[in-house]
Amino acid sequence: MDYFPQPVLGVETSCDETSVAVLYRREVLSNVVSSQAQLHKRWGGIVPEAAARKHTEAFLPVLEQALDEAGVTMDDIGGVGVTNRPGLIGALSVGVSAAKAVAFARGLPFVGVHHLEAHVLSPLLEEDVPFPHVCLLVSGGHTELFFVRSPGVYEYLGGTLDDAAGEAFDKSARALGLPYPGGPAIQKAAEGGDPERYPLPRGLEDPTMEFSFSGLKTAVLRLVQRLGDRLDVASAAASFQSVVASVLTDRALYACSVVGVSHLTVVGGVAANRALRERLLQQAEEERVSVTIPSLRLCTDNAAMIAHVASWRLASGERAGYDLETLAVDSLGRR
């Protein structure tokens, strides 16, 4: 991939993280993320209106901090990239309007970035990942497997038929009386729990490249209703986490065997999960598949991955107009 010869500003506001990053070629000069998790905690999930308002408040301070940490001023920035799809429309609009304003005021070229493509290519910020490879994208809104032929050429292999993996973490955590966001809460609660104590359903029969988590989520809820105070929350969390880790691992490695590649990347917020990482690395080694999982700050939503795609697209001559739109839904690699 060729990169833009000047520092690129990345902007991400598609969900509940306000993030601005400065990237110089492949080097992350800064990647400031202001999470709204505390705000949405009280509602147990993301409230779109509140998210949009919070982005408006956070944007300029986050921008200032990103420039400061990178040791640059706006004079050094050569281009701008912003997530414009898919995501919460109100939230996306804040970032897109802000990016347009910056580009207009400074006369800079800018591009709209697909949030999922940014996740898919994020491992390249840290490593020379071989192409083609398979990417497992697991986040709060997505659980998808892609055949990544080359940068920009993606084929959708399979995905969730109902809830996303992160969503299953969030909803099951809620059922277990654990706080939002559910992923880190379940991971913590599962420490010391017995992952085999409560047998839980895997959703679909293997082998498959599809996922279904709604049955698992319901099973956790039933467990809570049936056992009440007698429920061992640590073991319920561990049992849930173990099923998710096993399902994700088996299906990602199955996808590798179907398309015949021996490299897998795992991206998105759920890739932060320790049980998943351990299981994947172990099983992949047995199946002679090499795995890249980016560091935590690149797994969860961040603007460095947006600036990364922007820098490459700007270098290839792509330019957006001031009428760049936002899209709530936009799939990647589907025919």
Strands 79-85 and 110-114 turn out to be parallel
Tell me the closest approach of the beta carbon of residue 284 to ligand KG4, in angstroms: 18
Tell me the closest approach of the beta carbon of residue 145 to Zn ion, in angstroms: 16
Task: Return the structure tokens found at 266.
Answer: 């795992």
Tell me the closest approach of the beta carbon of residue 170 to Zn ion, in angstroms: 14
Which of 7, 86, 183, 333: binder of ligand KG4 (CB under 6 A)?
183
Q: Say whether residue 84 binds ligand KG4 (CB under 6 A).
A: no
Which of 172, 300, 311, 326: binder of ligand KG4 (CB under 6 A)?
300
Q: Applying CB under 6 A, which part among 38-46, 47-55, 164-172, 248-256 lies near ligand KG4?
A: 164-172
Coil, strand or helix at 109: coil
Q: Which residues within the stretch 130-169 sit at the binding site for Zn ion (CB under 5 A)? A: 139
User: x-or-dash pattern for Zn ion, window 301-330, by CB under 5 A?
Assistant: x-----------------------------
Closer CB to ligand KG4, residue 126 or residue 318? Answer: 126
Q: Applying CB under 6 A, which part among 4-12, 96-104, 183-191, 315-323 lies near ligand KG4?
A: 183-191
Tell me the closest approach of the beta carbon of residue 33 to Zn ion, in angstroms: 12
User: What is the rounded distance in angstroms from the CA atom of residue 154 to the CA atom of residue 164?
Assistant: 20
Contact in structure between 115 and 143 (CB atoms under 8 Å)? no
CA distances from 306 to 113, 121, 246, 271, 288 (A): 6, 9, 30, 18, 31
Strand partners of residue 266: 136
User: What is the rounded distance in angstroms from the CA atom of residue 176 to the CA atom of residue 186?
Assistant: 9
Q: Say whether residue 169 binds ligand KG4 (CB under 6 A).
A: yes
Sign of CA dihedral 183, 159, 252, 85: negative
Q: Say whether residue 246 binds ligand KG4 (CB under 6 A).
A: no
Question: What region does 177 belong to: left with phi over 0, alpha with psi -120 to 50, or beta?
Answer: left
Contact in structure between 309 and 12 (CB atoms under 8 Å)? no
Closer CB to ligand KG4, residue 140 or residue 203? Answer: 140
Which of 141, 193, 203, 333: binder of ligand KG4 (CB under 6 A)?
141
Which of 143, 273, 292, 311: binder of ligand KG4 (CB under 6 A)?
273
Q: If we measure between CA atoms, which residue out of 157, 120, 114, 176 comes closest to residue 313?
A: 114
The site for ligand KG4 (CB under 6 A) is made up of 15, 139-141, 166, 169-170, 181-184, 187, 268-270, 272-273, 300-301
